[in-house]
Chains A and B, each alone.
Chain A
Amino acid sequence: MAISGIHNILIIGPTNSDKNVDLSTALYDTADILHKLGYKTTIIVENPTALLSSGDFFDRVVVEKVNGENVLNYVNQFRPDAILPTVGDRNALGIVSGLNGKISTTKVLGTSYFAALATFKRELFISKLNQNKLPVINFISSDDEDELYDFIRSIGFPIIARRRFSNRHSSGWTNINNLFELDNFMALEDDKTTKIEIERSIRGFSEYSMTVVRDRFDNAALIGTIEDIEPIGIHHLDSNLVSPALSLNDSKLQKLRNYSIKLARVFDIVGVCTAHFALNHKTGECYLTEFIPRMSEETKFLEYATCYPLATVAVELNLGYQLDKLQLDSGNSFNGAEEPFMDHITSRFPQWNSKEQRYIGPSKTSDSSIIVNGFSIEEVFNKGPLNDKLNDNLTRYEQLHKLDDDQLFEKIIHPTSWMLDVLLEAIRRDFELPVLSEVTGINMPYLVVLKRIMENSAIIRDDAVDEENIERLVEMGVKGVGYSKVLLDRDEIVTKSVVKSKKSISVASENFENRNYFVTSGISNDIEMTDRKKIVVRSPIITSKKNIMVRQFVLLQLVKSINQNGLEAVIVGREPWSTPLEIRDIAYEIADPHMELRHLNLIPNESVFKIIDFSETLSAEDVENNEVFQISSKKIKSLDVKGETTMRIIVVSDGDNFTIPSIIFRKSINDKSYEISSFNNFLTQPEKNEILEIVKQELSDNNQINVFNFELVKSNGHWLVTLISEGMNGDIIRHELASSVHVIDTLVKMILGNKFKIGMDIDEIFYNDDDEYLVTINDKKFETFDFKETQTLLNEEIKDY
């Protein structure tokens, strides 16, 4: 059972998670289970629009800068029973490490002060590991140049070095191979409070990470293993990651497992902990390089890879539950004492917004990631980093093709974001694999896989796909490069290759009430459906790297709304990995949902009421098909007029009538811009009339159910439309947060055949009874005001509105 005396929990949110879907979903899952177990939650967060939830999900949302001072102020004022820092980012641990002795009886969950501090203070980490005979690389942190040079003389080159700033942040690691490079590094300007950290370089070692969970009774389990394809020297999150770690034999795996569990014990971590290792397969040298006692990108990745609900388990362990006696909600228990088994490979591939090659190294440069599943390395490579639809690999190939051998070799020595493409080109030119392995530090098995892919692509290029090799091609994931039509003639092969649905938790199984089927191995591969009518939510074939947060938000709210309205939602597509636990169970991962849904016969046609599609463009077949509803944003009208005062309004239309539940007002004064949500309540009657007329006029030809986004600019005392789009755009989270009307739910109700009341009066059309207003200053600082404060702001700061 849980430890007693905890009822109110303060969650320290991430500083800025608009790009970090991983933490947002972990945060959502955590708050969800806390809510179900009856805890009261408050979250302190800088940007409430970066939460994957609607406004009422937390008992209280404190919109403040996430720092020690504000957390301490909150604790002193409201005395929560506990603080949960493990679903925030690294900053949350920093805050906790500084609260020791300051927060009286309020408990810290998930990590200890010491563990939190050790994630920042390398000397503390190293000394603790040395004390406990855990392998660690010796290190120095000093501002004394003589001391630093003495240390380097004792360990020799190569080394890595970085600057640690007084605010606990640091520069990225720099590789230093000789005295010349060292002198250059030391000569860089810095202030006197900056320390320099140096340690022996383990560049070229293979990198692994192990995630363990541990309860307060000292039961611990290894939840997953991750292997970096690129070696140490390239940032973990810029590397292509594979789970499970295939290159570890039993002896190495158990060694790393034992170290990871011992590490969690040494720092007394109750909850989740990820340990990073550097391993040299030739010499057997192995070092613990880092530990992360919180939810992170790795935990999110492993949640999807293994189906083990890490966020849910971690917070329950934080609260004192025993590993094998966890709760799904207040009624259902489940067993978390599993070391999940994988019969498949899940890979995480970094993505860069820029199409150009970027040099990669010890500092993170990637902007996002994609996660794919497969049964072989070839399959995940073809679905992920070598998937032309995602990465424009053919253009890369053309560019690399033009390089001479020396230029290509330069790209191999200095790795870039196109690493696998570069290696493919090198293999095509018959560069020796052992040489490539030696130079890049990439283990031979991966290079051999690339060679197989190269041979395979030759088959496709030469149009030599036949009965003999088709099966092998599918196993290698060639669907991802656009050969679906050819392959779809063979349904049995397609089914074998692409269906990757997974079930996370199964309680009260007929035979074994305590058995969980986290794993997919022969256990539960199908989604259990009810006989309710289905709405299929289809994510796009081409997964955009941007706006993942918005897509996930819409997806989540859609599914909730569909289920609440009595139908059953089923998600198909590429992206179920980034969804919260609540809806991951109803997701089929299919590479090409448009082509394959029919062929796979996953859902009987007669039970599908509607398909909601996230693609930017629909196929001709879909356009003709009334069953398909396109929800992605599509521009209808655009006018290039700019102004200092603008409004963004969302309109929900049933094809005949509409409502305007949310308006965001924006005004720029000098160098400052203000945004105010739920502006419906500040509009004058003439303004409402004016806007109403504009919307009516613009939508006069519309007879479709949809949401419409209007952008208006104030020009000569009147509002002028500058842009109209239909579908969900980036503003939807803000509109949903700000409006008392649930926009997505309203849309779903219209899709189901409901209609607005005919002859609504103007107040009903602009209905929004929010009493809290979100004010954003310069797109960065979020504050919540009440009506009176907002009115004062309008009157005093934003004059002449």
Chain B
Amino acid sequence: MKRYLILEDGKVFPGEGFGSSAITTGQLVVSNNRTGIEQSVTDPDAEGQIMAFTIPGVGSSGINRDYYESINSQCKGVVIGSSISETVDGSIPFEEWVGSLEIPGIKGVDIRALSRYIHDNGEMKASIMDTHDQHAIDQIKALVLPPDLVKQVSTKQSYPNPNIGTKMVIVDLGLKYSILRQLSYRDCNSVIVNYNASPEEIANLNPDGIIFSNGPGDPNDLTQTIKNIKVLQKEFPVLGIGLGSLLIAIANDCKITRLTHPHHESSLAVKEVASGKIDFVNHNHSYTIDQKSIGSSDFIVTNICVSDGSIEGIRHEYLPIMSVLFEPEAAPGPTDGYYVFDEFIDLIDSINHQDWSR
């Protein structure tokens, strides 16, 4: 069935529909992930997004439910160039899988042209529709995307991920399961809480450290969480990942800016400033921390993106606060960033809570 991907500025990309035949609208994000479509589609970061995957021949590697990053899919639509209707491991074919998730999909799109268009014109809203008349374009323009994306994906109730090691509280801003996988691998005894869980509620859990997770949307919308960070960072070691990292920066009076070319790529180089070591890690963020505002804060830059020089990691000069904008849990992407979890646990181990807290 002929369908159209329509951008809010009126640009139309025709293709063939698959999956759900519903009309859908969302923020269009072009992803250069090499693999792991099931991870990307189920990543809570994808809430409210139509994801365009530039990888060719989608689907032949198969779909593995064990790699999901949340129980259900989060994204609003899937755009691809070409797909393959059979898998190497006999698992469910890609298009059938997208259908089973009731996500609208469109294939046969000139994905290179689309990707280039977004590169040149910036991220924007888009719809997958059956027609491409002016009325459809007006509808997209008029639609306001919901601002409370984190609210949609954050856990409503706290739940444990029990183990015998370091006690962690994870503030769920759109938590990927792979963060839990990495913590479990390190025997961490974790409790996952709602994004607006109060500092008291978290303190009552008596954690050794707190992780503010990745998540979707604009960090400036999360005013309460930012306030909570201001309190908690004085009491506990803190690690921020993705959105969590941006919130830590805002809580410490650093400015946030939108990247001219957002990072949605499963393998992009970051450099550790101190050692010069280069790692390839998964990126999925549209914002970064303003370089100038770091200078007047108590933070130092620990990691930068090799390609565009944007900040990818900061650390407090004397408090045990570290944060990275990239996704150290990978999923998908190279596993070079796993060390971040080890460093955070080492940081927790190396300090005496009673000695430094004020």
Complex contact B309–A512 (CB within 8 A): yes
Q: Is B82 an interface residue (CB 8 A)?
A: yes
Encoded as 1 (CB less than 8 Å from any B CB) or 0, chain A from 249 to 264 comes to 1111110011000000
Asked if B82 and A522 sit within 8 Å, CB to CB, the answer is no
| Smallest CB separation, A434 vs chain B (Å) | 9
Docked-complex contact A250 and B333, CB < 8 angstroms: yes
The reply to whether the CB of A322 lies closer than 8 angstroms to some CB of chain B is yes
What would 25 A/B residue contacts be, using CB atoms closer than 8 Å? Answer: A219-B278, A221-B278, A222-B267, A222-B334, A244-B55, A246-B60, A248-B61, A249-B61, A250-B36, A257-B334, A324-B269, A324-B271, A337-B278, A339-B280, A341-B265, A345-B56, A375-B82, A375-B112, A376-B57, A378-B82, A445-B85, A445-B88, A512-B307, A522-B118, A522-B119
Number of residues on chain B facing chain A (CB within 8 A): 57
Say yes or no: is B54 at the interface (Cβ < 8 Å to chain A): yes
CB of A414 within 8 Å of the partner chain: no
Could you say which residues of chain B place their CB within 8 Å of the CB of A343?
Answer: 32, 54-56, 81, 111-112, 115
- Of all chain B residues, the one with the shortest Cβ separation from A206 is B88
Most B CB atoms within 10 A — which of A339, A378, A443? A339
Q: B110: nearest residue on chain A (CB-CB)?
A: A496
A251, A258, A282, A514: residue with the most chain B Cβ atoms closer than 10 Å: A251
A514 pairs with B306, CB closer than 8 A:
yes
- Choose one: B30, B67, B108, B276; the contact of A217 (CB below 8 Å): B276
Which residue of the partner chain A has the closest CB to B307?
A515
A-B pairs, top 4 by smallest CB distance, nearest first, are A522-B115, A376-B82, A250-B36, A522-B116
**Which chain A residue shows the least CB distance to B81?**
A375
Residue in chain B with minimal CB distance to A496: B110
From A257, which residue of chain B is reached at the shortest CB distance?
B334
- Choice from B34, B88, B308 contacting A444 with Cβ under 8 Å: B88
**Which of A222, A281, A523 interacts with B280 by CB under 8 Å?**
A222
Q: What is the CA–CA distance of A378 and B83 in the complex, to the nearest angstrom?
A: 10
Q: With A514-B306, A525-B112 given, is the CB distance from A244 to B88 under 8 Å? A: no
A225 to B278 CA separation, bound complex (whole angstroms): 20
Q: Are A448's CB and B86's CB within 8 A? A: yes
Query: CA separation between A452 and B327, bound complex, in Å?
Result: 39
| Cα separation A221 to B334 with both chains bound (whole Å) | 10
Supposing A343-B56, A377-B57, A514-B307 touch, asked if A250 and B35 sit within 8 A by C-beta, the answer is: yes
In the complex, A253→B267 CA distance in Å?
12
In whole angstroms, how far apart are the Cα atoms of A248 and B60 in the complex? 8
Query: How distant is the Cα of A393 from the Cα of B288 in the complex, in angstroms?
Result: 54
CB-CB under 8 A from B81, the residues of chain A are: 343, 375-376
Roughly how many angstroms separate A335 CA and B308 CA in the complex, as a whole number?
10
Least Cβ–Cβ distance between B238 and chain A, in angstroms: 28
B39 at the binding interface (Cβ < 8 Å): yes
Nearest CB to that of A520 among chain B residues?
Answer: B112
Contact B276 A522 (CB under 8 A): no
Contacts of B114 in A (CB 8 A): 522
For residue A516, CB closer than 8 A to chain B, the reply is yes
Chain B residues near A520: list those with CB within 8 A: 112
- Among residues of A, the one whose C-beta sits closest to the C-beta of B119 is A522
Please give, as numbers and ranges, the residues of chain B lying within 8 Å of A375 by CB-CB distance: 56, 81-82, 111-112
User: What string of 1s and 0s marks CB contacts (under 8 Å) between B311-341 and chain A?
Assistant: 0000000000000000000111111000000
Contact flags A364-390 to B (C-beta < 8 A → 1, else 0): 000000000001111100000000000
Tell me whether B307 and A521 are in contact (CB under 8 A): no
Contact with A along B134-162 (1 / 0, CB 8 A): 00000000000000000000000000000
Q: Mark B55-84, 1 if CB is under 8 A from A, else 0.
A: 111011110100100000000000001101
* In the complex, chain B residues whose CB is within 8 Å of the CB of A445: 57, 59-60, 84-88
Number of interface residues of A (CB under 8 A): 58
Chain A residues, Cβ within 8 Å of B9: none
* Smallest beta-carbon distance B69→chain A, Å: 11
Which residues of chain B come closer than 8 Å to A345, judged between CB atoms? 56-57
Report the Cα distance A650→B110, complex, angstroms.
49
Partner of A323, one of B119, B266, B278, B309: B278
Q: Do B36 and A249 have beta carbons less than 8 Å apart?
A: yes
A533 to B69, CA, bound (A): 55
B357 located at the interface, meaning its Cβ lies under 8 Å from any Cβ of chain A in the complex: no
Given contacts A246-B57, A249-B64, A515-B307, are A281 and B276 in contact (CB under 8 A)?
no
Among A244, A251, A281, A471, contact of B34 (Cβ-Cβ < 8 Å): A244
> For residue A468, which residue of chain B has the nearest CB?
B2
Do A377 and B308 have beta carbons less than 8 Å apart?
no
Q: How far is the CA of A342 from the CA of B54 in the complex (A)?
A: 8
Please determine whether B271 and A443 come into contact, CB atoms closer than 8 angstroms: no
Known: A324-B271, A342-B56, A377-B57. Is A514-B88 also a contact (CB below 8 A)?
Answer: no
Residues from chain A with a CB closer than 8 A to the CB of B115 are 343, 521-522
The digit string for A261-288, where 1 denotes a CB below 8 A from any CB of B, is 0000000000000000000011000000
Set of chain B residues within 8 Å of A338, measured between Cβ atoms: 269, 307
With a cutoff of 8 Å between Cβ atoms, the chain B residues found around residue A166 in the complex are none
Q: Is A298 in contact with chain B by the CB < 8 A criterion?
A: no
Q: How far is the CB of B232 from chain A (nearest CB, A)?
A: 33
Q: Is A449 an interface residue (CB 8 A)?
A: yes
Of all chain A residues, the one with the shortest Cβ separation from B111 is A343
B279 to A, closest residue via Cβ = A219
Chain B CB within 8 A of A617 CB: no
- State in angstroms the CA–CA spacing of A325 and B116 once bound together: 27
With beta carbons under 8 angstroms apart, the residue of A253, A323, A344 that contacts B35 is A253
Asked if A546 CB lies within 8 Å of chain B CBs, one says no
Within the complex, what minimum Cβ distance (angstroms) separates A500 from chain B?
Answer: 9
Q: Residue A247 at the B interface, CB < 8 A? A: yes
Least CB distance from B2 to A in Å reads 9
| CB contact between B119 and one of A258, A337, A523 (< 8 Å): that residue | A523
Contact assessment for B82 and A475 in the assembled complex, using a CB-CB cutoff below 8 Å: yes
Check A514 against B309 for contact (C-beta < 8 Å): yes
- Complex: A378 Cα to B85 Cα, angstroms: 12
Interfacial chain B residues near A449, Cβ < 8 Å: 84
B277 within 8 A of partner (CB): yes
* Chain A residue with the shortest CB-CB distance to B118: A522
Whether A281 and B35, one on each chain, are in contact in the complex, defined by CB atoms closer than 8 angstroms, is no
The answer to whether A247 touches B61, judged by C-beta atoms less than 8 angstroms apart, is yes
Q: Tell whether A77 is near chain B: CB-to-CB under 8 Å.
A: no
